[in-house]
Chains A and B, each alone.
Chain A
């Protein structure tokens, strides 16, 4: 049990942040929207509240920008946008991920599946 949970945690670490970057690649999104989107993905399902510290870090390292905006229906929303350095980090991850995935597939035997 613990090992299974640990595995998914380990796999998420280092990849989840690029999923976040990709999510705001084409349009700005507010926090709850991003969190809700992740909630729909079973493989990425972490506690929703843990996404906010991640967003905070991505903003601190300069990959995301944010601005508060009034909401038509509720409280103010904080919208996140991809910065230039965030965009290049995402591109770098994409090329790294493809070769990484191919290597793991080849070694683990999941390539033909």
Chain B
């Protein structure tokens, strides 16, 4: 009987310790020591001997989830509630900091890892998970339509390229055609003003000649 009761106490303390890993080590040790002393005191002073009486004692103490939630609240810390997927601690509505994460992390954390990653509920991974997760299921069903779209785009680009080539050749031919007249015009127009002729000095003597 006493082995059973000792097991129950050890199990309770162990469960509590697992849930307190987010606390500073001294606060964690202090609380565990107090709870252990409380249980010992009660057992001695109320002469608790049977397992039933001991379980009542532990029940009055509160579940490890409830005690841990109070510990985080009094420490002014966000409880790593999600790490344990604990409905009891969530029902206790410990801190306002909880609402943001609950959507994503719960499915992500279920194993024995949470206790060692006490403060991670806020880290990137759980947040980055959801955005990355949806795409795959979306891509799979639309893979066929995706291929069609790709083929369509490829055809369109080929057509555009061909049109571009045709247009380019047209432009080239047109530009060669238009450049020619433009050049002739330009050459024709400037010549009359005689601007290019001014630098040409040989004409002055020609003008001088008639003066002579």
Chain A residues within 8 Å of B, Cβ to Cβ? 2, 6, 30-32, 35, 39, 46-50, 52-57, 71, 73-78
Contacts and interface: CB of A to CB of B under 8 A. Distances in A.
List the 6 closest pairs (A to B, CB-CB), nearest first.
A47-B62, A50-B70, A74-B44, A49-B67, A53-B74, A49-B61
B9 to A, nearest CB: 12
Contacts of A35: 38
Interface of B: 27, 30-31, 34-35, 37-38, 40-45, 60-63, 66-67, 70-71, 73-75, 91, 93
27 contacts: A2-B91, A30-B41, A31-B37, A32-B41, A47-B60, A47-B61, A47-B62, A47-B70, A48-B38, A48-B62, A49-B66, A49-B70, A50-B66, A50-B67, A52-B67, A52-B71, A53-B70, A54-B70, A54-B74, A56-B71, A57-B74, A57-B75, A73-B44, A74-B40, A74-B44, A77-B41, A78-B34
B82 to A, nearest CB: 20
Nearest to B76: A57
A76 B61 contact: no
A56 B74 contact: yes
A55 B34 CA distance: 10
Contacts of B74: 53-54, 56-57
Nearest to B59: A47
Contact of A50 (B41, B43, B62): B62
